[in-house]
């Protein structure tokens, strides 16, 4: 195993466990809310979708901080590390008030908008949940930036442990607070669990040797300039995530045209699919961290890192495709799907193989672009891919969920082809002008 591959595996494994912990806590949270009735479940589901969209916003600060801290670490520049940390913190402080305060003030109309009007039975419950959850985004945003700092410093294990701590507390507090306060208790458990983890994370920051050295150094940039640099670095990554989320939501509307059975099957099957795709995103984060670190050290090894990320991603993708091909039926039944829904979902999962293999390679290599400054072009490829996928899905929807899989695979194949061309051009440019390219990426 090459040194690059060993590094990618070391960085990616904790990230994957961190992502799994969040998903598991979300599922258990819904289990505890379910006895409160369908209206309570609808309220929490709506709030969860809002948080997924807000994640796209905070990624601008969290991902930008990760890349810049990793580059500064590679350059062995404590002043640049301090500037990167200050830039991420300042950007987070700028993003929190409109989301936390504005969201709290607009919680009632926001719930009405998402539920189709104030007369919806779940409106009051959603408003009550938002009253706690939206101010709690201050903790949510701060935690993502803190994780970004630690990951940029090469430590993906501490964010994993913090995720275990937060989600473990949520699982303990959920039954107690939901019993006492209903839906509001679910929101309160989430905020309290994350707050304790944030406090523990701040202590971990103080112990990190890289960050200790940075605190003693003079920041390489003023805070305002560091903020702008973080935003410029992280914005394409936030756009990439948000566009993919929007595309996934739009695809649901296309599937809904096929029938009730298919939309139910699609909803369950995608949850199983996410267990695999989270592994792809773990490799992506690892590739971004490792690529940025090498670039900061003046080593342009993106071709070698991309090759190992591609290999690792494809191995995971092929394994996931094979597993779903064999276990699609049991997976659907494990979610309690009715026979017709289970059959439709199993067909979808078995047809996902080409899409998963292509997506695994694309997502893994994309991390190298994020870490080395080419993420704006990557975001454009994502936008184009989503715009291609939706018309294809509409055209093939007459073939049922198998047609949806075909559309997803074709759109991902087009993105892979575009990424391959971009990779070749970027490497050629950096080989000719490494210093200028590094300046642009920084």
Other CB atoms within 10 Å distance of the CB of residue 202 = 12
Predicted confidence at residue 440, as pLDDT, reads 43
* Closest alpha carbon to 17 in 118, 162, 139: 162
For the stretch 51-85, pLDDT in tens is: 877 888 888 999 999 999 999 999 999 999 999 99
DSSP calls for 152-204? HTT--HHHHHHHHHHHHHHHHHHHHHHHHHTHHHHHHHHHHHHHHHHHHHHHH
Write out residues in the chain with pLDDT < 50, as ranges. 434-442
What gap in Å lies between CA 83 and CA 220, rounded to an integer?
6
Contact 266, 348 (CB under 8 A): yes
What is each CA distance from 422 to 79, 164, 221, 309, 353, in whole angstroms? 32, 38, 31, 16, 25
For the stretch 301-316, pLDDT in tens is: 888 888 999 999 999 9
Contact 136, 190 (CB under 8 A): yes
For the stretch 112-156, pLDDT in tens is: 887 778 888 888 888 999 999 999 999 999 999 999 999 999 999
What gap in Å lies between CA 280 and CA 271, rounded to an integer?
15
What gap in Å lies between CA 8 and CA 314, rounded to an integer?
14
Predicted confidence at residue 77, as pLDDT, reads 92
Structure tokens belonging to residue 4: 């690059």
DSSP count for the chain of H helices, then E strands: 17, 0
* Closest alpha carbon to 12 in 140, 151, 141, 150: 151
Structure tokens belonging to residue 99: 């989301």
């Amino acid at each position: 195993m090459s040194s690059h591959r060993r590094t990618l595996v070391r960085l990616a494994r904790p990230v994957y466990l961190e992502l799994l912990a969040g998903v598991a806590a979300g599922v258990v949270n819904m289990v505890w809310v379910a006895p409160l009735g369908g209206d309570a479940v609808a309220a929490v589901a709506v709030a969860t979708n809002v948080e997924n969209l807000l994640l796209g916003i905070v990624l601008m600060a969290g991902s930008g901080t990760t890349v810049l801290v990793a580059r500064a670490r590679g350059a062995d520049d404590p002043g640049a590390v301090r500037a990167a940390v200050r830039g991420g913190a300042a950007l987070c402080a700028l993003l929190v008030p409109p989301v936390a305060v504005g969201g709290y003030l607009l919680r009632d109309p926001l719930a009405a908008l998402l539920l189709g009007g104030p007369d919806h039975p779940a409106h009051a419950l959603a408003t009550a949940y938002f009253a706690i959850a939206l101010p709690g985004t201050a903790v949510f945003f701060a935690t993502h930036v803190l994780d970004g700092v630690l990951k940029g410093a090469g430590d993906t294990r501490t964010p994993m442990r913090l995720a275990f701590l937060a989600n473990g507390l949520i699982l303990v507090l959920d039954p107690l607070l939901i019993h006492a306060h209903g839906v509001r208790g679910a929101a309160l458990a989430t905020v309290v669990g994350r707050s304790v983890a944030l406090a523990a994370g701040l202590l971990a920051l103080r112990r990190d040797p890289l960050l200790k050295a940075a605190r003693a150094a003079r920041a390489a940039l003023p805070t305002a300039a560091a903020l702008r640099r973080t935003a410029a670095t992280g914005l394409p990554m936030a756009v990439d995530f948000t566009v993919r989320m929007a595309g996934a939501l739009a695809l649901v509307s296309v599937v809904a045209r096929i029938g009730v059975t298919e939309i139910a099957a699609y909803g369950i099957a995608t949850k199983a699919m996410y267990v695999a795709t989270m592994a792809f995103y773990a490799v992506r984060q690892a590739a971004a961290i490792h690529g940025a670190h090498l670039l900061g050290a003046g080593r342009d090894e993106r071709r070698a890192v991309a090759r190992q990320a591609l290999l690792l991603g494809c191995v995971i993708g092929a394994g996931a495709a094979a597993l779903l091909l064999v276990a699609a039926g049991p997976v659907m039944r494990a979610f309690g799907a009715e026979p017709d829904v289970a059959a439709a979902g199993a067909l979808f999962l078995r047809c996902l193989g080409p899409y998963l293999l292509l997506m695994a390679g694309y997502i893994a290599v994309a991390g190298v672009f994020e870490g080395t400054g080419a993420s704006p072009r990557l975001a454009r490829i994502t936008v184009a891919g989503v715009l291609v996928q939706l018309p294809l899905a509409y055209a093939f929807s007459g073939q049922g969920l198998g047609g949806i899989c075909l559309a997803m695979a074709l759109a991902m194949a087009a993105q892979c082809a575009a990424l391959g061309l971009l990779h070749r051009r970027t490497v050629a440019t950096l080989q000719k002008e490494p210093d200028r390219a590094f300046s642009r990426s920084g």
